[in-house]
Amino acid sequence: MDRAICPEDLPQWMAAELDVDSTPLGWSGIKLRRYRAPPQEINVPGLSDFAIVAYQNRETINRHRNGKTWESASVGPGSVSVVTRSESSHWRWDGTIEALHIYMPFEALACIAGEAFERGIAEIELKACLAAQDVVLTEMIQRLAMEARAKGLGGPLYVEALRCQLSVHILRGYAVVGSRPKEHNDGLSQAQRRLIVDYIEENIGTSISLSELASLVGLSVFHFSRRFHREFGRPPYAYVLQRRLDHAKEQLSRKDLPLKVIAAASGFSDQSHMTRLFRRTLNITPGEYRRQVLST
């Protein structure tokens, strides 16, 4: 099998104008590119990522793959081509094509599949489709393209939500998934526990995401959350919040540290956030807690 190429290398095989590219935006687990390609015939090596092509204008395209006979189809808005990874193909079209390309690495799609199937994923293959009519999928891709252009408020959260929806849609309609045998060990090893605890303590003053913790021990977010709760008796976010509170309480024993400094060092968004947590859990403010500690 020839070496698979990354999506950024596609213009080496296809003459096209690139006018939208999400790469500089640093999206996680998904890339979007918009191409305007004149008439041509191309041989494309297999891609390292799964690819979905959503067409913006009407045209007739032809494709054959793995030496099979040519397929021909009319495409347009609402049409998508589905291309599995690592499979070479031969394409031809006689008019200019405008299309949005979505690329998803195996790891990102497998993570969503693992949460959906509740077990590890060994392999995913997308069923090759030259021209599927899928308004739902094209609408999600169009929203991603709009976000790539607008760079709106909360962009990473918005893109992540769309990526998850798009991934589930693809898994439902276009994927063949091979899963690993279900694991009987549903806990965390002592080494994994120590790794997680140490990471939280070392990064208590920063934003700690669920995906960061899950990646430390090589689990999907779904499996990590379930195992963490079983081992620690509470969800990860509740454990981290308690450790932030404990850290703040330790710092409050020093009268020279301003409350806003303690809040930042303990990972709270601001002093008000820390105050709300103290009131909710201890029924006193941080200032009152400090006075109690220093008076003893």
Q: Tell me the domain boundaries of the chain.
A: 7-179, 185-296
State the architecture of 185-296 in CATH terms. Answer: Orthogonal Bundle (1.10)
Q: Which CATH number fits domain 7-179: 2.40.30.160, 3.30.70.20, 3.40.50.720, 2.60.120.10?
A: 2.60.120.10
**Rounded-to-integer distance, Cα 86 and Cα 243, Å:** 45
Residue 178 is predicted with a pLDDT of: 77
Query: Is the Cα dihedral 115, 137, 101, 18 positive or negative?
Result: negative
Residue-level pLDDT, tens digit, the chain, 296 residues: 457 899 999 999 999 999 999 999 989 899 999 999 999 999 999 999 999 999 999 999 998 776 677 889 999 999 999 999 998 999 999 999 999 999 999 988 988 887 777 666 778 999 989 999 999 999 999 999 999 999 877 788 789 889 989 999 999 999 988 765 555 556 788 889 999 999 999 999 998 888 889 888 888 777 788 889 889 998 898 999 999 999 999 999 988 899 999 999 999 988 999 999 999 999 999 999 999 988 87
Write down the pTM of the prediction: 0.64
